[in-house]
Each structure stands twice: as C-alpha cells, then as structure tokens.
Amino acid sequence: MSEREREQATSTMSNNQGFLTESVMRYRLDTKELLMDIEMQLRGEQIGYERDNTTGQIVEVVKKSGTAKMNDEGIQSVISYLRSTVGPHTVQGNFDQEAYEQLIYEIDVTLSTNIMANLHKWDMSVLDYDHVLNTIMHAIIPFLSRTVNNEERKSYAATMRSSEVNSVERRGGFSLPGFGK
C-alpha cells in the first residue's frame, strides 16, 4: 500500500470514527426512546414487526398489548413532566450520591402526588397506581444514575478524546482529512 493510500485509509477511518462518536453521543443523551417506551406502556402498546405485503420489507408497527393505564390527558401530563426532568441536560449533570437520591425522591414524590390527585380525572384505576409509578421509576432511575460523580461526562470525554487522537495522528506529520501533506 502506498503512502497516499495509507493516508486516505487513515482519513476515512478517522471520519468514520467521528461519525460513530457523534452517533454514540446522540444515543447516550437522547431520551426520546426512554420516554416513548414509558408512553407506550401507559397506552398499552408495544412495537412489533410485520412484513409489508406490498414491498416485502419488515416494518415497525405499533400493536395493542393491553389496556391504557390512563387517558390521553394523563399520559400527556406524565410525559411532559418526565420530558422536563429527564433530558440530555439532566444526564449531563454532576450529582453526588446524596443529590442524585434527592432528585429521584423529588421525581417520585411529584409523580405520585400528581397522579393520585388526578386519578379520576385521568381515568386511572387505583389498582394500577403502584404498577404505573414503579414502571416509570424503574425506567428512569438507571438512566439518571449516569449523573452520579460526573460519570457520564467522564465516559464520553474519553470517547471524544480517543476520536480526536485518531483523527490527527498520522505517520509523517499532521494533515486534515481530505487534504495532502
């Protein structure tokens, strides 16, 4: 392999690493999937897969998997609250263990109080109350645990540092991807 081919291969590899790093970062900070899972559970739905009869492609479909735990107004209220408390801004926080536990406590109390106060308005059965709260809390506690002792930032800082080192290292000196020596 010639020096020019090695340079092009290095440039391509570095560019791909940058893309992968950006994708990993977006995935780790994005709360859409977490919130969508909670919303689907509240609606009694789940994602399934079917073959499209026209194209033959496998496609995602939303399937009913039970009954909704509350009406649309309740679901919207719960998801809106969670969106404001569980987001990229939160997971990038730096909490010590005590602050993290206080945050979890506040979320639990706020959700519990809000849902109980609106139980009838949101057409929710008192029999589903504990299950709904436990399901939500069990989903968000691991997600938010990444804020403890700045572990999330440390983790992705290491990922970014690795990508930056790989994108500028090259035998024979420094060049930008796509440009020669």
pLDDT in tens, 119-169: 999 999 999 999 999 999 999 998 888 888 765 555 555 555 554 555 555
Domain locations in the chain as residue ranges? 3-168
**β partners of residue 148:** 95
Confirm whether pTM is higher than 0.85: no
Cα–Cα distance list, 43 to 50, 57, 120, 132 (Å): 20, 27, 17, 11
